[in-house]
Structure 1
Amino acid sequence: MNDIRDISWSLVLFWLGLTSIGLIGIYSATQGPVAQFLPEFIQNNFFKQLVWIGISICILVGIQFLSPRFFQNFSYLLYGFGLFLMVLTLLFGQEVNGAKSWLQVGPVNLQISEFMKVATILAVANYLTSRRNISAENLRYALIAVLLILIPTVLVILQNDMGTAVVFMALIPVMLFWSGLPYGVSLFIISPAIIGYLSIIQWYWGLIATVVLTLAIFIIQRRTWLTFASFVCGVLMVIGVQVALFQVLQPHQRARIAAFTNPSFDPQGAGWNVIQAKTAIGSGGIYGKGFLEGTQTQRRFLPEQWTDFIFCVVGEEFGFIGASLVVLLFLGMVLRMLNAAGSHKHPFAQLVIVGVTTILFIHFFINVGSATGLLPVIGLPLPFVSYGGSAFLANTLMLAICVNLDTYKRQFSIYR
């Protein structure tokens, strides 16, 4: 192991700061006056989180004693083993909140898809590192990399966990772009997400975005086939979103989307989550109501306040200052990780760090966006802050790998 001074202590401190805020929020959401409204197993979440943090600290330290070549050499093996566990989960897993994502491993239930994110990043990074001749004319290698991401994505969708599927899909444009995919092709890959988001608001906004993005892709790439494909895919996305909204999605899923565009349409039903979340954050003001003093939190108006809406707990009890601290810590972590990726000489390490950064940022973006009403409520935890053993453990594992790669960057740069 390198000298202790070589360790990226800034990442460790960001992790420690977010974890500490999370513990405070979980305690308030489960142990304060609100405890009288909660079943005992929910009240125990704070103490269970302490155990997961203890385990994660051991992993964070232990990973630093591994050679960085370990993650590259065993990436495909870990990926295959992860897929095996995903299939087992699909066949024999337990259903929680409508998603069959949990597998009994000894005395605990683990959400295997959380750990599959780690294996997928390592496998895709290893593959793209050995195939760095991606271009607009030859997308064979890019398509294989996309397939490596789509396989676990499909398994997650079959488990009825659309939120996690979105996170997997976010890896595609970012990792391909960082590996050398041209700007126009990268824009083509992410354009369906932009068009789909705007089509949910209004179908004609999706068509406008289709035209604008198609023109941008043509100007950047100057490829007729790519321009045509962009326009066709955009139109199909607009049509697909409308069909999904009215023909495919379940009633509760359509209600969530309707609540996003207009929370007041069903204030006692689907719009309840958004209204209560925004009320909690808004009522916190600048300094907040004080620890254990949040009315929305302590009177149990906030849904899933120890997981999906824990940002609202922080915003209500610690105000704009507390919420801003969470945002600044996350942004600080993301920028530090991007700096580590940019300064690393080995492409595998770069892609792994960028992939992990993408996963953490997407979780942060969707969670905070859902809590503030800027995005539909999808149900993703806030990394290192929300309660959840599998998510906390997997996120810490990803961060530990990034710390390892950054710590050993001098040695790893000479590996082939």
Structure 2
Amino acid sequence: MRSNDLPISRVDWPTVLVYFALVIIGWFNIYAAVFDGQAAKSIFDFSINSGKQLVWIGASVAIILVIMAADHRLFENLALPVYLFFLVLLLLTPFLGKEVNGQVLSIGVGSFRIQPGEFAKFATALALAKVMERPNFDLSQTKNQLIALGVMMVPVILILLQPDTGTAMVYFALFIMFYREGFPQRYYILGLGFIALSLLALGIENNLYLAIGIGLIFLLLVSIGKRSWKRTLVFGAIALVMIGYSYSIDFVVSKLPPHQQNRIMVLFNPDLDPLGVGWNVTQSKIAIGSGGFLGKGYLQGTQTKFDFVPEQHTDFIFCTLGEEFGWLGSLVVIGLFMTLLYRLVVMAERQKTRFARVYGYSVLSIILFHFMINISMTIGLFPVVGIPLPFFSYGGSSLWSFTILLFIFIKMDASRSQQLGRLG
């Protein structure tokens, strides 16, 4: 048997079936998002979003066939060149790309355009897997931590230059993979602490109240147990850092573009501007809530039909599902995503090389982040940051990049019997 021969029986078919289920359900929902009653065009009409998405789905099938026919060693050999190629594209995008709504995200010729930030996700995952597969690569060592973080942060910095905060945030999901590979837990505790403090600083309008609250906590901690001057100094220093950090958060937020500031403020006060900044989230929650248990029926969504929710075919596609298929339909789709994530964990843990395992957990991290943040946006639990729902939202770059990301790992998993054991 040649090394690139693919035994069909070794393909993880549950994962493949979940992928196609999500793609097809997403396609029907994209059509529902542009459906306008009696004047509606056919779902196959190439002049509307559903028709264009069908073309991209067909191209995705071709991409899948190419990936599955390739030698599994190709992805490891080309990991760093592919990563460098997309870094160059990211670097060129602000200069050669097309500006839309103040952002330069896509690059291409004529009507054919791609978003390098989307494709750089799988390239970064491959590069990290290649770097971390080296013998004796230990993430508990500072040098190796800096190398791994450097590989992750370079595309983040280039994407922020576009600027595209939402896509840049996705890369931080790779800390899930880092955790599996031995990144020290103390950094996660510290990071969660800063996130919690940031939310407090943003949620409490008057920093004076926050400072008083932190001061009271400091006094309480000092009063417990033995009153040593060292302990008092330590807690006092922590209290001062926390107060200073809260003020610095306000300073950073004040430097963000106005629309991003407003999105953050709406998260903590949904009624701040319901007819302006808060319109998207308010209408999305109305659409999902109006669907009830079973929904209004396919193509019967009034919030959808009358265009109450902007960007409903992309970032807010989940509210179309919630309105027309209700709680039960939403549960089915969430169940499909959870099944996919479970299969990715199973597949990652059975790999025979660290390269494949690291890449597998990177795939899991990226899809999990998109899934959680997108749905959280539509129900008002997270600011609107332009994160598509994997395999579901409208867009060629999004669908192709997620397809490549997932099926490279499916190919690795199917070929694991041919891999040399190099687990770290």
Bin of the TM-score, shorter chain as denominator length: 0.7 to 0.9
Shift of 1:355: 0.5
Q: Are 1:73 and 2:81 matched, yes or no?
A: no
Q: Are 1:112 and 2:110 matched, yes or no?
A: no
Q: Are 1:22 and 2:26 matched, yes or no?
A: yes
Alignment correspondent of 1:218: none
What SS is found at the alignment partner of 1:24? helix
Structure-2 separation of matches of 1:232 and 1:88 = 43
User: Which of 251, 257, 260 is residue 243 of structure 1 equivalent to?
Assistant: 251
Q: Are 1:259 and 2:266 matched, yes or no?
A: yes
The one-letter code matched in structure 1 to 2:251 is V
What SS is found at the alignment partner of 1:55? helix
What SS is found at the alignment partner of 1:264? coil
The one-letter code matched in structure 2 to 1:90 is P
Q: Which moved more, 1:85-94 or 1:393-402?
A: 85-94
Change (3 A) 1:383 1:135: closer
User: Which of 183, 186, 189 is residue 184 of structure 1 equivalent to?
Assistant: 186
Alignment correspondent of 2:231: none
Structure-2 separation of matches of 1:132 and 1:231 = 40
Change (3 A) 1:12 1:237: farther
Alignment correspondent of 1:140: 143
Structure-2 separation of matches of 1:104 and 1:231 = 51
Shift of 1:200: 2.8
> Could you report, residue by residue, the CA deviation over 1:12-39 in whole angstroms, capped at 9, with x for unpaired residues?
1111111111011101111342977xxx
Shift of 1:175: 2.7
Structure-1 separation of matches of 2:183 and 2:157 = 24
> Could you report, residue by residue, the CA deviation over 1:14-69 in whole angstroms, capped at 9, with x for unpaired residues?
11111111011101111342977xxxx99611111001100101111221122222
> Could you report, residue by residue, the CA deviation over 1:336-361 in whole angstroms, capped at 9, with x for unpaired residues?
10111111121111110111111111
User: 5+ residue gaps in structure 2?
Assistant: 222-234
Verify the 8 A CA contact 1:30 1:43 in the aligned structure 2.
no
What SS is found at the alignment partner of 1:265? coil
> Could you report, residue by residue, the CA deviation over 1:167-189 in whole angstroms, capped at 9, with x for unpaired residues?
01222x22322222232234335
Structure-1 separation of matches of 2:101 and 2:311 = 11
> Could you report, residue by residue, the CA deviation over 1:122-151 in whole angstroms, capped at 9, with x for unpaired residues?
101111111644355x31111111011111
Alignment correspondent of 2:377: 370
What SS is found at the alignment partner of 2:104? strand
Change (3 A) 1:299 1:282: same
Structure-1 separation of matches of 2:418 and 2:244 = 48
Shift of 1:199: 3.5
Structure-2 separation of matches of 1:34 and 1:84 = 47
User: Which of 333, 338, 346 is residue 345 of structure 2 equivalent to?
Assistant: 338
Change (3 A) 1:372 1:70: same
User: Which of 255, 279, 283 is residue 276 of structure 1 equivalent to?
Assistant: 283
Alignment of 1:401-416 (within 5 A): 401-414=408-421
User: Which of 79, 95, 102 is residue 91 of structure 1 equivalent to?
Assistant: 95
Structure-1 separation of matches of 2:333 and 2:83 = 32
Alignment correspondent of 1:157: 160
What SS is found at the alignment partner of 1:362? helix
Change (3 A) 1:235 1:48: farther
Change (3 A) 1:354 1:35: farther
Change (3 A) 1:23 1:403: same
> Could you report, residue by residue, the CA deviation over 1:290-320 in whole angstroms, capped at 9, with x for unpaired residues?
0111110001101101001110000000000
Structure-2 separation of matches of 1:195 and 1:4 = 50
Structure-2 separation of matches of 1:190 and 1:350 = 25
User: Which of 166, 169, 173 is residue 166 of structure 1 equivalent to?
Assistant: 169
Verify the 8 A CA contact 1:103 1:112 in the aligned structure 2.
yes
What SS is found at the alignment partner of 1:363? helix
Structure showing greater Rg: 2
Structure-2 separation of matches of 1:119 and 1:25 = 29
Shift of 1:243: 1.2
Structure with the higher helix share, 1 or 2: 1
Verify the 8 A CA contact 2:86 2:123 in the aligned structure 1.
yes
Shift of 1:251: 1.7
User: 5+ residue gaps in structure 1?
Assistant: 216-226
> Could you report, residue by residue, the CA deviation over 1:310-334 in whole angstroms, capped at 9, with x for unpaired residues?
1000000000011111111111101
Structure-1 separation of matches of 2:16 and 2:30 = 21
Aligned residues: 394
The one-letter code matched in structure 2 to 1:180 is G
TM-score scaled by structure 2?
0.86
Change (3 A) 1:196 1:35: farther
Structure-2 separation of matches of 1:229 and 1:170 = 31
Alignment correspondent of 1:224: none
Verify the 8 A CA contact 2:139 2:181 in the aligned structure 1.
no
User: Which of 122, 127, 130 is residue 123 of structure 1 equivalent to?
Assistant: 127
Alignment correspondent of 2:230: none
Q: Are 1:299 and 2:303 matched, yes or no?
A: no
Verify the 8 A CA contact 2:201 2:249 in the aligned structure 1.
yes
Alignment correspondent of 2:224: none
